[in-house]
Structure 1
Amino acid sequence: MRQPPRPCRRHRLCQGLRCLALLATAATLAACSTPALLGGAPPLPSFASERFDRSAPFARRFAGQPEALCEAARRALLSQGYMITGHERLGLSGRKFFQPQRDAHVQLAISVSCADEVADAQRGTVYVTAWQDQFVIKRNPSHASVGVSAFGSISLPLSASEDSLVKVGIETISDAAFYERFYGLLGAVLAAGVTAPAATATPSTAPAATATPSAAAAPPSTPAGR
């Protein structure tokens, strides 16, 4: 019985190329598809949500001088475990560290600025901005080379690794409840009677007055001869 002829290699190659062309066309169409073509709106940029309204939680007025307000803010942050990384007369900053997961780290930073009120000299405004830096642990396994006379040098992986923190994101905290908790603690510290730190006295640069010696003492009298 005569067997049917086998398809030639050129025919199979043409079929394979045709399939590859169809797949490439489908991938191109999928990549060029936009949310608008699929019936959805394109995502808005992050700055589009900025409203710049007066109800933002980043400022609060308190009774007190700006220096006293910043001193109260410094004590409030210290009482919650924050490390003060910068401190000036009318501003300070602090950081606190968290590890929500084994391979993830978060640094919470707070910046505080204090200003006086133009209309009321007995009140001041505290401006607070908080943000979080997100890090992940990147592990770099180390390798060691072992010399073998028959095969040369062979690189073998070891269990030791060099870990490093890689910053993957930063975000400003806009949660109003977060700032309300800080303002509540700041008000409690102010109610305890915190005042502005006393200014450090600057030593005088004028040279000290030198005591003027009195008139030379007369030499001791010679006892009279006998």
Structure 2
Amino acid sequence: MKINCKISYNLDILCFLNALSSDDYYVSRHKQAYDSFYPLFSDDIKEKLRMLVKWNKSPIFAPTFTLLISAVPSFSDMSIYSLLQARSEIEDGIFKTPYHFNEDEYDEIFARFSDTIIPLIYELENNGFREYWNTVKLPIIQNKISDLEPYLSQYNLETLIGEFKDFSGEEMDVYVCSFANPHGIKLCGNTLITDVVYNQETILANITHEVFHPPYVYSDIKEYV
């Protein structure tokens, strides 16, 4: 199985939402970027962020939001604004996976995309976030991938994982982001997010860990239990 290390601005900006929640657990890990951009938000966006945390009952937004957009095959090439409004494409993509959201959940999530996430990203980009990401974060990610790819090419994931679960496919896509720390995030298919600050061994562990995340095959669970 070939491991492809990739870059996605769309995934990374959604990962940044965790820190923008103002939760110390995330702010402490991304303080420079938080201090550069959070104070520039309008009072309206700051209030919407507070309400988003309340709605989500957690400052951890990235896993759900990145999972949803990863259901669209061209998610890294689309405008983030178009992507967050692509409800039919996202629903169709999720339907082909083991993940499940009901219509009420989709209604709630896309309402948050429309009234909070899209205006928030618009303000971020108006305040120079895309330029910041391209000049500060992107070169770090590119350098990490240059070092990481030869290391990962030594390992066959089917051999490492196949002993424990059915795991096959021609390729796995690993998106190296700069705002995922302290998490790894499983996306749709053989795809996941890791973070640029992790060393090579941690990223390999991250990869092998994430493929065991839910959803599970419930018939298998019943058999094992």
Same fold (TM over 0.5): no
Larger radius of gyration, structure 1 or 2?
1
Between Structure 1 and Structure 2, which shows a larger proportion of strand residues?
1
Between Structure 1 and Structure 2, which shows a larger proportion of helix residues?
2
Larger RCO: 1 or 2 (CA < 8 Å, sep 6+): 2
State the TM-score, normalized to the length of structure 2.
0.24
State the TM-score, normalized to the length of structure 1.
0.24
